A and B are shown apart, each in its own frame.
Chain A
Amino acid sequence: MFVLVEMVDTVRIPPWNFQRQLNDAIAEELNKKLANKVVYNVGLCICLYDITKLDDSYIFPGDGASHTKVHFRYVVFHPFLDEILVGKIKYCSQEGVHVTMGFFDDILIPPESLQQPAKFDEAEQVWLWEYETDEGAHDLYMDQGEEIRFRVTDEVFVDTSPTGPAAAATDTPGSGEKKEPPYTLIGTICEPGLGLLSWWNN
């Protein structure tokens, strides 16, 4: 679920923080920059693991702050392909079942990856599994808040950096464009053992 990512970056320490220990000031700046943020093609950054190397600090003309090149390792949430994860159902929609893990929300299980046969109940806005046994068909509902075990089948990274003024001018202002999440996980529950935990606990 979590990986360690080695990164190198230049950290700017403003003069009013010069009385602090350099390591602490740098750790705070790195966490301010990266914690709870998605780095493109890397994952959701959680917190700093450690600082491996500090290069010399420089002060440049016109700016009183010091700039230090830092080699550090960061804890990043980046599940590997086919990893099994447990989350809670946030809500269901036509697009599928939306799952959350508390610290990470953008997990989707599309309709074709649900336990088949699956049906969408429009009235209650919930997906259900039409489970057949010898006694007849049971409808197993995927209610909000239920714990669900799923397998990661795909991940989508979207570069949400701001675009330049030329592109912005072509968008009609207030067009209500949908904001894409920078990091989405696609999952499946189409295997024995996957789906709501209550389906498989005896």
Chain B
Amino acid sequence: MEKNANAAMLSNYEVFKLLTDLKEQRKDSGKNKHSAGQQNLNTIMYETLKYLSKMPCSRQSPDIVKDFLTTMMPHKLTKAEKLQLLNHRPQTAVEIQLMVEESEERLSEEQIEELIQTVADALPGDPEQENAAPADAEMEEANEQP
């Protein structure tokens, strides 16, 4: 079997979409997915979807990815760095420093803050996490009122 081991890199969103569409297709086709041969495919699809559905990619769409890449162009990041930002949606400077090589030399503190803000705006976040924050703010206001 010949292979070209590195034809292209895929974002988590692309794999998530592919597996979700494949699952829909297999649901319609009915009987044969429980045969012994199909068990491996079922297992890997189930586990991978379970993992990916908890990551930011489950809330992305082709337009979001396209806009994200356009917004990222002026920052001059490598493909691998942009891919990691897309897959992980970092929210702190520490995470950005992990994913962007030599970030202390290439980006100033303000640029890192700007990058965090761009990522937070371009990519949708976890609604549970975001609902927790305003709830805390409301509680603080309630406590402050005499």
Contact = CB atoms under 8 A, between A and B. Distances in A.
B137 interface: no
Contact of A4 (B8, B37, B40, B50): B8
Interface string B117-144: 0000000000000000000000000000
A4 B41 contact: no
A49 B98 contact: no
B80 to A, nearest CB: 6
B15 interface: yes
B38 interface: yes
B19 A42 contact: no
B12 A2 contact: yes
Contacts of B38: 28, 31-32
Contact of A75 (B18, B40, B80, B94): B18
A73 B15 CA distance: 13
Contact of A39 (B3, B44, B98): B3
Given A47-B22, A191-B98, A5 B6 contact: yes
Interface in A115-154: 149, 151
A16 interface: no
Given A5-B4, A191-B98, A35 B40 contact: yes
A76 B87 CA distance: 16
A103 interface: yes
B1 to A, nearest CB: 5
Contact of A41 (B5, B14, B44): B5
A84 B5 contact: no
A7 B87 contact: no
Contacts of A22: none
Contacts of A67: none
B94 A200 contact: yes
B1 A31 contact: no
B92 A200 contact: yes
A3 B7 contact: yes
B94 A35 contact: no
Contacts of A2: 9-12, 14-15
A101 interface: yes
A194 B105 CA distance: 20
Contact of B51 (A49, A101, A192): A101
Given A1-B12, A191-B98, 6 more contacts: A2-B12, A47-B41, A49-B18, A75-B10, A102-B51, A103-B48
15 contacts: A3-B6, A5-B4, A39-B3, A42-B3, A43-B5, A46-B48, A47-B18, A75-B15, A84-B84, A84-B98, A86-B55, A103-B48, A191-B98, A200-B92, A200-B95
3 nearest interchain CB pairs? A103-B47, A193-B94, A36-B44
